[in-house]
Structure 1
Amino acid sequence: MPRHPVRTLRFGVQMLVDLGTGMEPFSRDVSEVVHQVRRTAGHEHTEVVYFDHCPVRGVGQGPRWTWGEYLPPAPGTRVFILSDLGMGGPRLDPRRSTRAEWERLVALLAHAQCTAVAFVPFPRKRWPLWATKLLPLAPWDRQTTAGWIAAHLD
């Protein structure tokens, strides 16, 4: 009998939350999204980890000086990335994340058998083609619903 994978949060969810300059205009919204995910998936099944521009540069839950290397969660964990993927902030900011950094993160997650989805605070027309091919993206706006996500993301 053929089997099809079923979406589940039984392994929990890890939220990777970008605190980089491109996300500063959305800081209050970020807090609300974190709250809503914890409420939906359960506080005990939600790990929130913060990063600056890209997780491969280091992550943590407390002050930045305590952050360390990003280690993927247990296999089967869904990874929810809340980031601008380097699209926001000042164009000439040398700290902006790069395509290569995001490719490295997605490779780490794939090796750990984790699936990821990125929520970006910009409309589709601003998404770089490389990002749409790298991982599932969802627009982070008022029109995005759980039904939209279920219909458009694997």
Structure 2
Amino acid sequence: MFATVAAPLQSRELDERSLVRRVARLDTVRRVPRRRRLSTRRGAQLLLDHGAGLTPFQDDRLWLHELAANVIGRDRVDVLRFRGTPDRGVVRRDPLAREAYRPPLPGTPVVLFSDLGLLRPAFADRSVASPREWRGFLDLIRHSGCPVVCLTPYHPEDYPAELRANVVFLPFDRRVSLRHAQEAARVARRRLERS
């Protein structure tokens, strides 16, 4: 969880290597370079899919909620539940109080636990969102300046190309390591910088 939501921030420590390289190249030093470190200071938004496709993963949702609160801090994580897509409305605490979705402040990591409508259970009416609807939501997040990583119980190759181009997938699997999570977060930040 830390690797997924931690964002690189400039610390107060001097980046001696960078400073020495600049001086050795005879570059003008206008600002003293500072080291960058990973921090959860910006907090995170955790979006938990409560649709029919993720019913088998309800214990995992609870575990992710607790993990995010413990790693990021209860006061820094905004946990929202939804069905379909968050654009259809989200729930904070009271399941009867549905409210409109608002993206977090720019730079705040968004962690999405969803199948993005991949699993369409029998008799699922319009509650399952289409890839087109998900793409619109992911565009909203990207335009708000937030990196997004989708924790999913399925492999990224199972998703349509239009979704893979807009979100970084991290399989929710025991084989996923810290390195995988760090790379997913790094790719999400790079995609955001390019757009």
TM-score range, shorter chain: 0.7 to 0.9
Aligned to 1:88: 119
Mark the runs of 5 or more structure 1 residues left unpaired by the alignment: none
Aligned to 2:162: 130
Quickly say closer, same or farther: Cα 1:75–1:153, change in 2 above 3 A: closer
State the one-letter code of the partner of 1:116: V
Aligned to 2:101: 70
Matched-pair identity in %? 26
**Aligned 8 A contact 2:42 2:108 in 1:** yes
How far apart, in 1, do the equivalents of 2:136 and 2:107 lie? 19
Match of 1:151, SS state, is: helix
Matches within 5 A, 1:1-150: 8-90=39-121, 93-94=124-125, 95-150=127-182
Moved more, 127-136 or 40-49: 127-136
Quickly say closer, same or farther: Cα 1:6–1:83, change in 2 above 3 A: farther
How far apart, in 1, do the equivalents of 2:155 and 2:44 lie? 25
Moved more, 140-149 or 6-15: 6-15
The structural deviation recorded for 1:65 is 3.0
How far apart, in 2, do the equivalents of 1:40 and 1:67 lie? 27
Alignment deviations for residues 37-81 of structure 1 (CA, whole Å, 9 cap, x no partner): 211111111110000121111101134431111111111111000
Quickly say closer, same or farther: Cα 1:7–1:81, change in 2 above 3 A: farther
Q: CA RMSD in A?
A: 2.3
Q: Which has the larger radius of gyration?
A: 2
Alignment deviations for residues 120-143 of structure 1 (CA, whole Å, 9 cap, x no partner): 111234222222111111101111
How far apart, in 2, do the equivalents of 1:51 and 1:6 lie? 33
The structural deviation recorded for 1:110 is 2.0
Structure 1 consecutive aligned stretches of length 4 or more whose deviation exceeds 4 Å: 5-8
Mark the runs of 5 or more structure 2 residues left unpaired by the alignment: 1-21, 23-35, 187-195
